[in-house]
Chain A
C-alpha cells in the first residue's frame, strides 16, 4: 500500500527541490544577466539583479573582437564528429559484450571505466608528442579522435546497459530468420535500442561540447572550439565581466537549448536500466 504523504511534507519536498535547483542554476542565470549589463554595472556593489540598463553591446563587442562562428563551427564538428565516431565503434563493441560475453568481459568493462578515474593530465605529454609527430596538433581531426577516445568508455558502458535490456531471443530469432550479423545489428538491434542510442548521443554531444582540457591544450587557432573562445576572453580581459559573460552565454547557449528540448529523452535514458 502506498504511504500517505501529508500536504506539509509534500510542500516541504517541493520547496527543497526548488531550492536545490535554484542553487544549481544560479551561476548560469547570473552569467546570462551579467552579459546584458554595461561593464560598470556588472561589478556594481551591491549587485543589480534586473534593475540595470539592459544592453546588447557586449555581444556586439565580443563578435567584433573574435569571430564567434568559427569557434562555434569547430565545436559542432568536434561534438558531432567525436560522438558519431564513438557510437560507430561503441555499437559493435557493446553488442559483443552484451550478447557474446567472454570470460573477461566484466574485467574489460571495468578496465575501460578505470581509464576515466585517471587524471587526464597524466597522459597529456605523451598524447601531445604523438599529436605533434602525426601532425594532428590544432586540427579538427585530432580533436575529434581524442575527444572520442575520452568519451568512448562512457559510450560503450551506456550502450552495453541498454543492449543488456534487449532479450537475446529476439536476436536469435533474427539469426534463425536468416539475418547476417550486420543485418541483425542494423534491422533488429539498433531500431530496438533507439531510445538508448539517442540518450547516448545526446549525453556525449554535451560532454564533447563542454570538453575543455584537451581542446585547450591541443588546439590553438584553426581547430579551436568554444572552450578556447571563452578562455581567450578570461585571461587578457578577465576584468571585463560583462563581455566575458556574453562570451560564456554564447558558448553554452546551443547546448543549453539542445538539453532543454531533449531533457525528457535524457532523463529516460539515464535512468533506463535503474528503474525498469
Chain B
C-alpha cells in the first residue's frame, strides 16, 4: 500500500514561503511526476513527503496514518537521490543490504533479498565492487536496488537521471517504467525534464513557485492545459503564443498553437512569414519563422525533410480546432 495525502501542507524557510498551502492526493500504485522549472519547489515537496524537511503547517499522511511528525525511517518510503548517495566505503552488496541491516533483519534473509534485487537489476557481477568502481548507470541501479530491497510503501525519486548521459537516460527511463509495472508500487518522481514526465507518468503535477498549476494525465495536460504556464511547459518544441489583434479575433487575450499543429505552405495560408532557421531532425524539421507580425518568432514542426530554406517566404496554416485560448491572467478560456 502506498497512498500519500498532503493536506494544507506549507513550507517556509525563514520569512520566505516556498510552498504555499497545497493539497495533493497520490493513489496507491500510481506513478506521479512532479515537474516544473528549477526552483519551483518540486524537490522540497518530495523532501516533505520523505520527512527530510519538516512541514511548516499542514498534514502528510501515508495510507491514512498521520506521518507529519514521523522521522524518515518510520514512513516506510525509499528514496533515490540525484547524486545516487551511495555509501562509498561499502561494497555494492553492503550498500543494498544497508536498510535491511538497519532494520535488524537476519543475515540469511538479507543475503537472499540482496541477491534477488541484484538479479533484477543486473548487478550480480558487481556485488563485491565499491561504488567508485562502477559507471554512472550502474551506480544508479545500485541506488534503486537499495530502495527496492526494503519493499517500501512508495518510492521517491529526486531527479535520478539528470547525472546520466542522454543515451543512458532513455534506457534507465524505460527500466524505471518497467520496474513500476512489475512492482506496482507507488512512485513519486521529480524532474525538470518534461519528456521524462510525459513518458513515465500516470499523473503529472506541474508546479510553479510552489503552487500546483495543474494535475492530470500526460495527454490531458497536452491537450487541455489549464493555463498559459502549463501550455508553455508541456510539449516540445514549446507552444507558440500570439497576442494582440489575432488573439482578439479568437476572443482571447492570448492564443496558443503547438508547432505540430501548424502546416507550412510555400503558396498560401492566413499567416505569412520568413524562415530564419531550419533544424533538421531527420524525422521532422523545425522552422523558426519571423516577420509574421503576430509574435517575434513562431516555431513550426513539419514532418520529414521539409522543403523551405532559411530566407524563404512561407505561409502558415494553423489547425483552428487546436488553438488554445487564454485570458489576461493566463487562465484557459
* Residues A180 and B73 in contact, CB atoms below 8 Å apart: yes
Given contacts A172-B81, A172-B85, A173-B81, contact A178 B103 (CB under 8 A): yes
Main DSSP-derived SS at the A contact region: helix
Determine if B85 and A173 form an interchain contact, defined as CB atoms under 8 angstroms apart.
yes
Given known A-B contacts A170-B87, A191-B89, A177 and B52 have beta carbons under 8 A apart: no
- Compute how far the CA of A174 lies from the CA of B103 in the bound complex, rounded to whole angstroms: 12
B146 partner residues in chain A, CB cutoff 8 A:
173, 177
Chain B minimum-CB-distance residue to A193: B89
Which residues of chain B are within 8 angstroms of A175 by Cβ–Cβ distance? 52, 71-73
**Does residue A146 face the partner (Cβ distance < 8 Å to B)?**
no
B269 within 8 Å of A by Cβ?
A: no
Q: Which of B72, B85, B99, B102 contacts A170 (CB 8 A)?
A: B85
Instruction: Name A172's closest neighbour in chain B (CB-CB).
Output: B52
B50 contacts the other chain (CB 8 A): yes
Q: How many Å lie between the Cα of A201 and that of B103 in the bound state?
A: 32
Determine chain B's interface SS by DSSP, over half rule: loop
Cross-interface CB contact of B77 among A172, A174, A176, A183, cutoff 8 Å? A176
Contact check, B102 vs A176: say whether CB atoms are below 8 A apart.
no
B98 lies within 8 A of A177 (CB): yes
A176 and B88 within 8 A (CB): no
A187 and B95 CA atoms in complex are apart in Å by 11
Number of interface residues of B (CB under 8 A): 22
A192–B73 CA distance with the chains assembled, in angstroms = 21
Does the CB pair A176–B52 fall under 8 Å?
Answer: yes
Please give me the residue from chain B that is nearest to A181 by CB atom: B71
A176-B87 in contact (CB<8A): no
- List B124-166 residues whose CB lies under 8 Å from chain A: 146, 150
User: What is the total of A-B residue contacts with beta carbons within 8 Å?
Assistant: 59
Most chain B beta-carbon neighbours within 10 Å: one of A170, A183, A192: A170
Question: What 1/0 mask marks residues of chain A from 156 to 198 whose CB sits below 8 Å from any chain B CB?
Answer: 0000000000010110111111111001000110011010000
A84 CA to B237 CA in the complex, in Å?
62
> Using Cβ atoms and an 8 Å threshold, which residues of chain B touch A183?
102
In the bound complex, CA of A191 to CA of B98 (Å): 14
Contact, CB under 8 Å: B102 / A169? no
A178 touches B89 (CB 8 A): no
Asked if B117 is at the interface (CB within 8 A of a chain A CB), the reply is no
Which residues in A have their C-beta under 8 angstroms from that of B85? 167, 169-170, 172-173
Query: Is B45 close to A, CB under 8 A?
Result: no
B78 within 8 A of A: yes
Residues of A within 8 A of B86 (CB): 170, 173
B residues in contact with A191, CB < 8 Å: 89
Q: Which residues of A contact B52 (CB under 8 A)?
A: 172, 175-176
In-complex Cβ contact of B87 among A180, A188, A194 (8 A): A188
Contact B72–A176 (Cβ < 8 Å):
yes
Query: Could you say which residues of chain A place their CB within 8 Å of the CB of B87?
Result: 170, 173-174, 188, 192
Residues of chain A touching chain B, judged by Cβ–Cβ distance below 8 Å, are 167, 169-170, 172-180, 183, 187-188, 191-192, 194
Q: List 15 A-B contacts (CB under 8 A).
A: A169-B85, A170-B88, A173-B79, A173-B81, A173-B146, A177-B102, A178-B73, A178-B102, A179-B73, A179-B102, A180-B73, A188-B87, A191-B89, A192-B89, A194-B89
